[in-house]
Amino acid sequence: MLTYQAEVLRTLISDVIQQNLNAGLWQWMNEKIAPVGDIRQFNIAFVSVPRKTGKNILRVTDEQNAAIREAGAGLDITSWTVDRLSRIWLVSSLHHKDEEKYFQTIENLFLSAEVNELVALYSALSVLHYPERWTKRCAEGIRSSIGAALNAVACNNPYPAAYLDEPAWNQMVLKAIFTDNPLDEIIGIDERANADLAKTLSDYAHERWAAGRFLNPLVWRCVGKFINTGIFPDIEKLAASGHAYNREAAALACRDSAYAPAQELLNKNPNMKSAIASGQLSWKALAEKMKNYVLQ
């Protein structure tokens, strides 16, 4: 499993948030997490954060950004707002000696959260204490139909890859595909690819094709390593597609595969092969192209 360093992340987040708040606000936040503090005051503080901090984009230095990416398995907070990280800091810094009390306090915040609070809470999963206790809550977020909440769980979040079991992980990737979330922003998308997910995606492709609907070529990123006799015909179909992005996805999937017929298929297309070798064609490059792609 892909891991991250929660304790290091918490320290880095503390540094960033302190430099983004004035001294008075920083003190106000610290008072709210005091071990003797009362939970009602903590709740109101969590809820009213944007009124205090505003909603500007965070100021993060390049060094801090690099350190957070390193400790967070690729986590990137540079587009986050001050209120979002302030809330993350509050829940990750709350006194946590009493496990039950800590768990219940955070659970209650989830239960009455509005959209921006949900986003902050799900983004905080990786820095909450007792990480193994949040897997059910994480799976609940994956069930969310609120776009921003689902995005906060699935994308740019190191928690799911580190803690979700395979069925829950697969459910998250499928949900992300169904809701057009950017797959390349899922931390651990390659590391946690698995045969079961590949089979499900192959079935999904057949459904889309039967309905005459477009299939995002990026889904094949999760399939390449698991190409077998069952899946290979899909890749052949893709390689013969009239659409260039499908052909590129087929070539990349073959590159990821150790299955001999898949390697032969790629060898038949020296142009694609050299584009891959030169780095001109990659899953990342294809994802960038898809971001600007308009369905005809």
Partner 1 sequence: MCCSNNITEKDLQPGIRDKSYLERIKGMQFFDPHIHMVSRTTDDYEAMVDAGIVAVIEPAFWVGQPRTGIDTFRDYYSSLIGWERFRASQFGIKHYCTIGLNSREANNEPLAEQVMELLPLFVYKEGVVGVGEIGFDDQTPAEEKYYRLQLELAKEAGLPVQIHTPHRDKKRGTTRSMDIAVEHGLDPGMVIVDHNNEETMKEVLDRGFWAGFTIYPFTKMGNERMADIVKQVGTERIMINSAADWGISDPLAVPKTAALMKDMGIREEDIRKVTYQNAMDAFAQSGQIDEADFTGVKNIDQNLKFGKNTVLRGGQQPRTDKSSIIIR
Q: Identify any residues that bridge with 110 across adjacent strands, giving them in sequence order.
A: none
Q: If we measure between CA atoms, which residue out of 218, 187, 241 comes closest to residue 287?
A: 218
Residue 97 or 291: which CB sits closer to partner 1? Answer: 291
Closer CB to partner 1, 113 or 253, in the complex = 113
What is each CA distance from 114 to 1, 21, 119, in whole angstroms?
32, 23, 9
Q: Measured from the CB of residue 52, what is the shortest distance to partner 1 in angstroms?
A: 11
Give the three-class secondary structure for 86: helix
Rounded to a whole number of angstroms, the minimum distance from the CB of residue 203 to partner 1 is 20
Residue among 11 and 48 whose Cβ is closer to partner 1? 48
Footprint of partner 1 (CB under 8 A) = 40, 43-44, 47-48, 50-51, 111-118, 145-148, 180-182, 214, 216, 290-295
CB of 3 to partner 1, least distance (A): 29
**Complex with partner 1: residue 209 or 214, whichever CB lies closer:** 214
In single-letter form, the type of residue at position 111 comes to L
- Residue pair 193/225 in contact (Cβ under 8 Å)? The answer is yes
Q: Nearest-CA neighbor of 122 among 81, 96, 100, 152?
A: 152
**Given the complex with partner 1, which of 40 and 97 has the nearer CB atom?**
40
Q: Which is nearer to partner 1, 64 or 81 (CB)?
A: 81
Location of structure tokens 């390593």: 225
Considering the complex, what minimum distance in angstroms separates the CB of residue 283 from partner 1? 15
CB 82 within 8 A of CB 53: yes
Q: How far apart are CA 5 and CA 139, in angstroms?
A: 21
Query: Residue 78 CB, nearest distance to partner 1 (Å)?
Result: 19
Q: Which residues, 6+ apart, have CB-to-CB distance to 236 below 8 Å?
A: 250, 265
Cα–Cα distances in Å, from 64 out to 60, 71, 73, 76?
Answer: 6, 10, 14, 10
Nearer to partner 1, 144 or 157 (CB): 144
Q: How far is the CB of 107 from partner 1 (least distance, A)?
A: 13
Compute CA distances 99 → 33, 40, 114, 128, whole Å.
15, 18, 25, 11
State the minimum distance, in angstroms, from the CB of residue 144 to partner 1.
9
For residue 146, what is the enclosing H or E element?
A: none
Least distance to partner 1, CB of residue 72, Å: 24
